[in-house]
Structure 1
Amino acid sequence: MDRAQLPLNALRAFEASARHLSFTRAGLELCVGQAAVSHQVNRLEALLGVRLFHRLPRGLALTDEGAALVPLLVDSFDRMAAMLDRYASGQPREPLTLGVVGTFATGWLLPRLDAFTAAHRFVDVRLRTHNNRVDLAGEGLDYAIRFGDGAWHGVEAEPLLAAPLTPMLAPRLADRVRSPAALAGATLLRSYRADEWPRWFEAVGLACPPLTGPVFDSSVTMAVAARAGAGIALLPPAMFADALEDGSLVAPFAECIDTGRYWLTRQKARAPGPAMRAFRDWLMDACETAGPQA
C-alpha cells in the first residue's frame, strides 16, 4: 500500500474501537458518531480484505487478524505522539522503550529510575513490564531486561545482576518451618521453571516432595501470595529487600540456588542511539555499584 494512501482516520477508528470494543464509545472519544466509526472500520476491512471484528449483539470482539493489528497500531501512534510532543515542547527528547521483567522492575529499577531521568533529561522513558517472555522486534523495544542464561537467538545480552533464589514466606508461617525438611509438608508455590524446587532440595541434600502448589508466571505475584500466607516461594532476596526489611516476608534458610541472572538485551541488528547508550552506561554503573555480576 502506498504510504500516501494510508487510511489514517480508519486506522484511528479501528484502534479506538479495539480498546473500547464498541463503535459508540469509540465515537465519543473521537468526537464523531457511531455510524462514522463503523463506516471507517468497514472501509479498513474492505481495503485489507479481512474482518477485524466480530459484530456481536452487545459490542465487538476482535478477530485474530484484528488482535494482531492492535499492538502495531498502538506502538505507532505512541511513537507519533512522542515525536509531536518533542516538537510542541521545543525540547529535543528521544524516546527509549524498555521491556523489563516485573521482578527486576519493582525490586530494583523503579526505585532508581528517577536518578536516571534526572541525569538524562533528553531521554523519554517508556516502560513496559513482562513475565520474562518478550519479543524485542515485535513489541518495538529498544532494550529488554530479562532473567535467564543469556542465550537468546539474535540478541546481544550483557549481564547485570545475579539473583540466587531462597525460600521466603510470611512471618506467621515461620514457626512451622524451622528446618528444610519441614518444607515437605508445606504448600510450595511454583514458577513456570519447573526445576527450581528440585534443585533447591538437592542443594540441601533432601529429596524433593511432590509439588502441588499453584504455578505463577511472575515472581511479583508469587511474592504477593507468599506474603498472604498462601505458601512458600523461591524468590531472589536481592529483588525483595524491602519485604525482608519491613518483615512482610522472611527468609529462614541461608541455602540459595543460582538459576540464572538478569541481562540487558537488544537486537543485534539494532544500532544504539544516544538514549540507548546513556541508559546502558548508567545501568551498568548502577549494577556494578549494587553488587558483583558474577
Structure 2
Amino acid sequence: MSRRSLPLNAVHAFIVTARHLNLTRAAGELCITQGAVSRKIASLESWLGFALFDRHARGLTLTAQGASLLPAMKTNFEQMVFAAEQASKSHAVIRLKAPTCAMRWLVPRLVALEQAQPDLHVSLTTTVDHSTQLENYDAAILYGSAPAGSWRLFDEELTPAIAASLLPAAVLRVEDLARYTFLHPTADGRDWRLWLNQQQAGFSIRRSQHFDTMDLAISAAIQGFGVTVADVTLIETDLAMRRLIAPFSETVKTGAVYSLIQRPAEDAPPQLAALVAWLRQPG
C-alpha cells in the first residue's frame, strides 16, 4: 500500500509557525484558529514520525529534526507556489475596463488583436464611471484628464456627423444645421456649444435630443434621427464605411483625452504588455 500523501496545508502551517515560533501569531497569519494550527502541525508530525517543535510555557522551539528539515521544506514549498502562480498567470485573462464612449474605437482593435494573437484573452467591462482607479482590473481606459503615469491614446476632437440620407444636394453650410434635430452626447449640450461657438454660428437650436453617452448619439445619427457632434477618432470606421458623413472640415478639441493605465509589471499577467502595446499603436 502506498504511503499517505504529504499534507501540503500542514507543510504551510509548519513553515509559518516556524517563522513565528508562536501559535497565536501563526494562526493570525493563516486566518485559522490556534487549535487548527496545532492539529495541522500534529498531522505533519504524524506523517513524518517525529516531533517538529518542543512546546514550552513561553512558546515553541524547533527540535533538531525540525530545524534540519525546515530550510529544504521552505525552499521547495516556495518553488511549488511560484510555479503554480506562473502557470496561472500564463493562462490568465486580462481584465480591461473602458468607458462606453470608447467602444467604437476599442472593440475593432480587440477583435483584430484576437485574430493576430489568439492566445491573448481579454475580458472587457464597460462603465460610465470615469474613475482613475484600476480597482480589480489589469488595465483601464480613461476619459477626461490623463493621470500621471498613463499612456495617452488620443485627444477628443469634435466635428458634426450626419447620415448621408439627410444631406441636401447642395453643400451644407453651418447655418443649414438649424433645420435638423441636434443629437447631444451630453445632458448639458456643451459639446455642440463648443463647436458652434468656434464657428460663430448665429442661430438658435430649435430641436434637441440628449443622450447619456456619445456612442448613443452616434448610433442615433447613423439611423438618421438628426445631426450629432462626435469625436473624429471614434467615428473613423463609420466615416470610412459611409455610415456617417462629416460635412465640415472644422474640428474643435475639448481638452479631454482618452488614456490608458495598467497594473505594475510585477503584479501584471505576462500578456498585459502585449495588450498595451497593441492599443497604443496608431491607426
TM, length-normalised to structure 2: 0.59
Distance in 1, matches of 2:115 and 2:239, equals 29
Indicate if the aligned counterparts of 1:156 and 1:265 stay in contact, CA closer than 8 A: yes
**2:100 alignment partner, one of 81, 102, 105:** 102
Indicate if the aligned counterparts of 1:200 and 1:257 stay in contact, CA closer than 8 A: yes
Query: 1:224 and 2:219 equivalent?
Result: yes
* Rg larger in structure: 2
**1:131 alignment partner, one of 124, 128, 132:** 128
| Cα offset, 1:125, TM superposition | 1.1
**2:160 alignment partner, one of 162, 167, 179:** 167
- Counterpart in 2 of 1:233? 228
Deviations 1:39-96 (A, max 9, x none): xxxxxxxxxxxxxxxxxxxxxxxxxxxxxxxxxxxxxxxxxxxx9xx77xxx931221
**2:261 alignment partner, one of 258, 265, 269:** 265
Three-state SS of the structure 1 residue aligned to 2:168 is helix
Structure 1: stretches of 5+ with no match in the other structure = 6-82
Percent identity, please.
Answer: 24
Query: 1:182 and 2:182 equivalent?
Result: no
Distance in 2, matches of 1:281 and 1:244, equals 26
Output the amino acid matched with 2:138: D
- Counterpart in 2 of 1:18? none
Three-state SS of the structure 1 residue aligned to 2:229 is strand
- Is the alpha carbon distance of 1:180 and 1:111 closer, same or farther for their aligned partners in structure 2, counting shifts above 3 Å? same
Distance in 2, matches of 1:250 and 1:235, equals 11
Output the amino acid matched with 1:170: A
Indicate if the aligned counterparts of 1:219 and 1:235 stay in contact, CA closer than 8 A: yes
Output the amino acid matched with 2:125: R
Indicate if the aligned counterparts of 2:93 and 2:120 stay in contact, CA closer than 8 A: yes
**1:113 alignment partner, one of 107, 110, 114:** 110
Deviations 1:208-232 (A, max 9, x none): 6247512212222211111122111
Output the amino acid matched with 1:174: L
- Is the alpha carbon distance of 1:92 and 1:232 closer, same or farther for their aligned partners in structure 2, counting shifts above 3 Å? same
Indicate if the aligned counterparts of 1:166 and 1:255 stay in contact, CA closer than 8 A: yes
Distance in 1, matches of 2:253 and 2:129, equals 17
Q: How does 1:1-294 map to 2 (within 5 A)?
A: 92-106=90-104, 108-117=105-114, 123-131=120-128, 133-134=130-131, 136-138=133-135, 140-151=136-147, 156-175=149-168, 178-192=172-186, 194-207=189-202, 209-210=204-205, 213-259=208-254, 260-266=256-262, 271-284=267-280, 286-287=281-282, 290=283
| Cα offset, 1:199, TM superposition | 1.1
Distance in 2, matches of 1:252 and 1:132, equals 32
Indicate if the aligned counterparts of 1:156 and 1:268 stay in contact, CA closer than 8 A: no
Distance in 1, matches of 2:182 and 2:262, equals 34
- Is the alpha carbon distance of 1:101 and 1:212 closer, same or farther for their aligned partners in structure 2, counting shifts above 3 Å? same
Three-state SS of the structure 1 residue aligned to 2:245 is coil
| Cα offset, 1:264, TM superposition | 0.5
- The number of residue pairs the alignment matches comes to 201
| Cα offset, 1:133, TM superposition | 3.2
Deviations 1:218-249 (A, max 9, x none): 22221111112211111123222232233221
Three-state SS of the structure 2 residue aligned to 1:200 is helix
| Cα offset, 1:121, TM superposition | 5.6
RMSD between aligned residues = 3.5
- Is the alpha carbon distance of 1:199 and 1:211 closer, same or farther for their aligned partners in structure 2, counting shifts above 3 Å? farther
Output the amino acid matched with 1:175: P
- Is the alpha carbon distance of 1:115 and 1:134 closer, same or farther for their aligned partners in structure 2, counting shifts above 3 Å? same
Distance in 2, matches of 1:212 and 1:269, equals 50
- Is the alpha carbon distance of 1:197 and 1:245 closer, same or farther for their aligned partners in structure 2, counting shifts above 3 Å? same
| Cα offset, 1:274, TM superposition | 2.6
